[in-house]
Every structure is written in C-alpha cells, then in structure tokens.
A and B are shown apart, each in its own frame.
Chain A
C-alpha cells in the first residue's frame, strides 16, 4: 500500500514539474510577444522656399501619391524674381553684343592697318567680350535658380502616403526647411516587436511570423527582417565621461526587451494599418525543436541554431552551435533550472554521437 501511495504521488509530482516547466518555457522562451506595434516612416515635408501659403491642396488623412502637390506658396515674389532674372539675362546678352561689336570693330580696323587702334585696345576688347560672356552665363544660372524657386512654391509629396494631422492652414507663413505637413509613408508599414532577450535564441532573420492585430483580431503573415543591434541600458545612467552603474541593483532583474523588425507579407483586410497600433506576434522558428518533451525540458539549450547572419551575439549568452541530439554526457548535466550546462569534453564529439547507454 505504501508503495502505491509513494508511486502515485511521485508520478503526479513529476508530471506537475514537467507541466510547470512547459508553462514557463511557453511564456518566457517561446518567441512570442504582446509588446509589438505597427510602425511607419513619418515624412516631415518642408518647403524649399519661404512664403505665405496660398493654397493647401490636400485634406487631413488624404492619400497622396509621390509627386502630388501638397500646398502652394505665394508665387508673387518668385514670379517677380524670375522676371528680374530674365531682365538681367537680357541685359547681359545686350552687354555681350556690345562687347562683341566693339571687339570685331577693333579687329577690322587693325586688319585694315589703322594706326589709331593700339594692340592694347584690341586685347582689352577681347577680354571685355569674355567678361560679358561670363556675365551672361551667371545671369542664365540666376534665371534658372529663379525658375526652380518658382517651381518649388508647389510643395510636392516625396512619398506615397497619407497626410497625418494636417495643421497648416492657408495664410500660414512657411519657412524654408521648417516641416509643415507630416506624411505617413504607406509603403513603409512594418511591425516593431519587442522580445525578451531570453527569447532571442529562438529568433532568426527570415523566420516566419504571425501578427495578430488587437483592433479586430485579424492574423496576417510576416517575416523577421532584422534584429536591433543595440538598445539603451536602463541601469547605465552615466552622463559624463565615466560610467555610472545603478548602485541599487543587487538581486532582482528583468530581461531587456530587444526590438525585432517584422515585415508584413500580407496586409490586413478588415482594418486600415495605423502607425502605433498594437499587435501580438508569434514567431515560428524555421527549425522546429522535434525532440520529445522530456528531452527538451532536460536540455533546454540543445536545440539552439547557429546564427546564420552577421548579427552580433550579444544578449543571448551562450551561442554554442549544437543542433545534434545532446551527447550522452549531457545526461549528467545539472537540472534544467540551472541554465546552460557547463562545457564538457563530449561537446566536441562529432555530430553523430555514439548510441547512448541505456
């Protein structure tokens, strides 16, 4: 009777330990996160010329294509500047004509043997022609500048996007280089997912991902496009030349969250993509851990894949390339709660280990 009682209790307790580890792994090691958001490039369009806004061609939240006119700046000044530049060019042309005539007259007189024309006068006339040519070129360039400035009074959209939070109004003064209209680049929608660093070992560039939108529960396909190469460390509050580690840090610590960029392979059908919208992300590792549950729990680092990209091995700690079944010696590894097993000679074995002793 006591044997039965002991046996039943032991079986149930071991099952409970396995169930607990399964739950723990599912929450803290499986690559999934509820901390993910849609992200898009925000283009802050600014006019290249200053002036009063005479017309705004878009409304708030309007979709625009690359090259569409967003707003128009008062053209008066720039039309006048162009007229002035035109006149300057005409003047320079006339000056050049005068200089050429002078020069050719001197040349003719000189050829005919006139003594009233000195060599110096001929050379001076030639040089004056060249100067007038240069002036004409400068005037033409100035005219081109005036033309371009006039074109730039029409502010055009640099991207395909949507006008966001339109605050500019007709009559506002727009200054060169000061953003007036923000555009959300609709070609750049992606998901920024913050994963615990303990989950990074199971995430690789190119892995398939599923993105669930909080808005309507729609699930779309995604793909891991990149892993952030760095984040700010909260414990380092240094502002000067010396480091200033947080002195209060002793026992409890939390895993950092690392941004992973996820490209949306398909777009949601039921909701518009909104920058900042909340999503949940599950990443499906390309190489699944096919070992039985007890082995997975026993040797938790055994399935880790080598980093295939040039992403630096930072927060994930041990990056041992160990895709083969755990060698026999790993059976002597510490219990699963103790983290990565210490390096052992058996780890250098060839990929196909000997049949392990039963």
Chain B
C-alpha cells in the first residue's frame, strides 16, 4: 500500500492501482455470483456487494508489498 506507481509521467499512490485491481477482481467475482444466484443468500445484496468490494480492496492493499 505504501508505494507509488507511475502512469504516463504522473505518479500516483499505489492505492489507486490497488483500487483498479480490486475492481477487476470484484467484477469477476460479482459476475460469477450473479450468474450462480449466490447473492440471494444475502439479506441485503447491494450492501453485501459493496462490502465485497471493500474487502477485496483491503486484501489487495494488504498483499501489495511496500518498497
């Protein structure tokens, strides 16, 4: 999480990259769960989907190494 990435000449905190990666992972998982109808096992699917994204972001940020 405590890193920096360069993209077209500008430097961003690596959390931004984590957010993008987490969004991709979340999209895949979310699509799969929608297809399989697994969100129906949740009381509040919208809240659960948002929570899933935040958890994914936390895990990705945790796995991203510091320099």
Task: Give the shortest distance, in Å, between B20 (CB) and chain A (any CB).
Answer: 15
In the bound complex, CA of A27 to CA of B2 (Å): 8
A13→B51 contact, CB < 8 A: yes
**CB within 8 A of A26: which of B1, B42, B47?**
B1
**CB within 8 A of A6: which of B43, B51, B59?**
B43
Interface status of A280 (Cβ within 8 A of chain B): yes
**CB within 8 A of B67: which of A6, A8, A20, A219?**
A219
Interface status of A109 (Cβ within 8 A of chain B): no
In the bound complex, CA of A212 to CA of B4 (Å): 10
Q: Tell me which residues across on chain A come within 8 A of B50, comparing CB atoms.
A: 16
In the complex, what residue of chain A is closest to B13 when comparing beta carbons? A34
Using C-beta atoms within 8 Å of the partner chain, give the interface range for chain B: 20 to 34
Interface status of A23 (Cβ within 8 A of chain B): yes
A20→B58 contact, CB < 8 A: yes
32-61 of chain B: CB within 8 A of chain A: 41-44, 47-48, 50-52, 54-55, 57-59, 61
Using C-beta atoms within 8 Å of the partner chain, give the interface range for chain A: 20 to 34
In the bound complex, CA of A5 to CA of B3 (Å): 38
Q: A26-B2, A27-B15, A34-B13 are in contact. Are A9 and B47 (CB under 8 A)?
A: yes
Q: Tell me which residues across on chain B come within 8 A of A354, comparing CB atoms.
A: none
A positions within 8 Å CB-CB of B: 2, 4-6, 8-9, 12-13, 15-16, 18-20, 22-23, 26-27, 30, 32, 34, 210, 212, 214, 217, 219, 280, 282
In the complex, 28 of the A-B residue pairs with CB atoms within 8 angstroms, ordered by the A residue number, are A2-B43, A4-B41, A6-B43, A8-B42, A8-B43, A9-B48, A9-B51, A12-B48, A13-B48, A16-B55, A16-B58, A18-B58, A19-B54, A19-B55, A19-B59, A22-B58, A22-B62, A23-B1, A23-B57, A23-B61, A26-B1, A27-B1, A32-B2, A34-B4, A214-B11, A217-B67, A280-B3, A280-B4
Using A4-B41, A212-B67, A282-B66 as known contacts, list a sample of 11 further A-B pairs with CB atoms less than 8 Å apart, ordered by residue number in A: A6-B43, A9-B47, A13-B51, A16-B51, A19-B58, A20-B58, A22-B58, A23-B15, A30-B2, A214-B11, A217-B67
